[in-house]
């Protein structure tokens, strides 16, 4: 998976802003406050807040993650992958056999680079998606537009 600064684009279907993964932790966190020596973040599962030092941890914002592709763009943003997963029907568990996960990933992102996207990357993406989707934290453009119209 590629990690680099998120560039603005026309695609803005999901709000992954302020969601981070922290090295050494299996959960997804919401960034509450950024400090020069670390970050205060809240675990989305337990809702516990804590300080995480930059000396001990690395922080990866979900919106900065891209999946390597073989097309001219060279990568697909995680938001795009998640939207494809929302539209793609049943998502397997991240503990499913890797062949099943690879087949699924080939269906939702056929242009992913099979050499650079590792099995562990696919498992992480599926785990993150299932975690966020179970908590109704993922919506497509159409769902967001529908809820805005209802209000």
pTM tops 0.75 = yes
At 89-144, the pLDDT tens digits run 899 999 999 999 999 999 999 999 999 999 999 999 999 999 999 988 887 655 55
Residue 8 lies in a domain: no
What pLDDT shows up at residue 140?
60
57 and 73 in a single domain? The answer is no
Residue 54 lies in a domain: yes
Residue 35 lies in a domain: yes
- Give the dihedral of Cα atoms 61, 124, 9, 40; nearest 10 deg: -10
At 32-87, the pLDDT tens digits run 999 999 999 999 999 999 999 999 999 999 999 999 999 988 899 999 999 999 99
Number of domains in the chain: 2
110 and 70 in a single domain? The answer is yes
| pLDDT category of residue 88 using cuts at 50, 70 and 90 | confident
Q: Is the pLDDT of residue 10 over 80?
A: no
Segments forming the whole domain that contains residue 69: 65-139
Q: CA-CA distances (angstroms) from residue 38 to 31, 41, 48?
A: 11, 10, 16
What pLDDT shows up at residue 5?
35
74 and 126 in a single domain? The answer is yes
95 and 77 in a single domain? The answer is yes
79 and 39 in a single domain? The answer is no
116 and 58 in a single domain? The answer is no
Residue 97 lies in a domain: yes
Q: Which residue stretches of the chain are H helix?
A: 78-87, 98-108, 119-134, 141-150
| pLDDT category of residue 3 using cuts at 50, 70 and 90 | very low
What pLDDT shows up at residue 142?
56
| pLDDT category of residue 1 using cuts at 50, 70 and 90 | low
50 and 107 in a single domain? The answer is no
Cα–Cα distance between 136 and 141 in angstroms, integer?
A: 14
88 and 104 in a single domain? The answer is yes
What pLDDT shows up at residue 9?
35
What pLDDT shows up at residue 150?
57
């Amino acid at each position: 998976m590629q990690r680099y600064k998120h560039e603005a684009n026309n695609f803005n279907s999901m709000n992954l802003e302020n969601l981070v993964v922290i090295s050494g932790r299996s959960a997804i966190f919401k960034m509450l406050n950024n400090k020069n020596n670390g970050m205060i973040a809240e675990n989305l599962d337990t809702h516990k807040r804590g300080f995480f030092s930059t000396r001990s941890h690395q922080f990866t914002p979900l919106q900065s993650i891209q999946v390597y592709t073989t097309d001219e763009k060279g990568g697909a943003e995680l938001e795009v992958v998640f939207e494809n997963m929302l539209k793609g029907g049943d998502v397997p568990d991240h503990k499913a056999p890797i062949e099943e996960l690879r087949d699924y990933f080939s269906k939702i992102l056929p242009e992913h680079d099979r050499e650079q996207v590792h099995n562990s990357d696919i498992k992480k993406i599926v785990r993150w998606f299932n975690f966020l989707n179970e908590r109704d934290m993922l919506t497509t453009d159409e769902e967001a537009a529908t809820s805005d119209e209802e209000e």
